[in-house]
């Protein structure tokens, strides 16, 4: 993320932190993962139904990720400005496990915790690769 956006995320999350809690890494990612087949099917169906005027695709939820020394916070992105809000979508206490790291066009990994046994998939776009790698390093995942 750009430096100004990192600072905005830090300022937004500051009132939500406990006394003595410090921020280790921030980033912008997409939560969840949808199959390519689901996107193609939805695009074809909406194109047919609209007479070719439009085609929709499914996307995961964009969010801001804040890793502190005690937990991981997932903040909702504002619907209009796409900036961080104070709405916490998910809060996972540390320690967190990292499973199934995929590096390619997007850097994706699954966070595992006792409270969320199914895991939480985070997908960072190519422009946010440094943030993803910094977060993985803080979580103890092997380097690329």
CB 15 within 8 A of CB 86: yes
CB 25 within 8 A of CB 45: no
Instruction: Kindly report, residue by residue over 88-136, the tens digit of the pLDDT.
Output: 988 899 888 888 889 888 899 998 888 777 788 999 999 899 999 999 9
Q: Where are the alpha helices (DSSP H) in the chain?
A: 3-13, 36-49, 129-138
- At 12, list the tokens: 């937004």
pLDDT at 71: 93
User: Which residue from 79, 115, 82, 83 is spatially nearest to 97, judged by alpha carbons?
Assistant: 115
Domains of the chain: 3-138 (2.30.29.30)
Instruction: Kindly report, residue by residue over 19-48, the tens digit of the pLDDT.
Output: 999 999 999 999 874 444 544 555 565 556
Q: Give the span between the Cα atoms of 56 and 35, in whole angstroms.
A: 14
pLDDT at 90: 86
Residues in a beta bridge with 120: 111
Pairing of β 107-112 and β 97-103 = antiparallel
Residues in a beta bridge with 59: none
pTM metric for this prediction: 0.76
């Amino acid at each position: 993320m750009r430096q100004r956006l990192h600072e905005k995320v830090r300022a937004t999350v500051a009132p939500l932190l406990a006394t003595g809690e410090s921020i280790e890494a921030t980033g912008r990612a997409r939560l969840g993962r949808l199959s390519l087949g689901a996107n193609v099917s939805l695009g074809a169906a909406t194109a047919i139904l609209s007479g070719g005027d439009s085609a929709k695709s499914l996307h995961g939820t964009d969010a801001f990720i804040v890793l502190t020394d005690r937990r991981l916070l997932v903040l909702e992105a504002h619907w209009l400005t796409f900036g961080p809000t104070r709405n916490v979508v998910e809060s996972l206490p540390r320690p967190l496990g990292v499973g199934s790291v995929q590096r390619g066009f997007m850097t994706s990994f699954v966070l595992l915790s006792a409270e969320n046994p199914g895991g939480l998939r985070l997908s960072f776009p190519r422009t946010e690769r440094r943030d993803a790698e910094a977060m993985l390093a803080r979580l103890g995942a092997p380097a690329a």
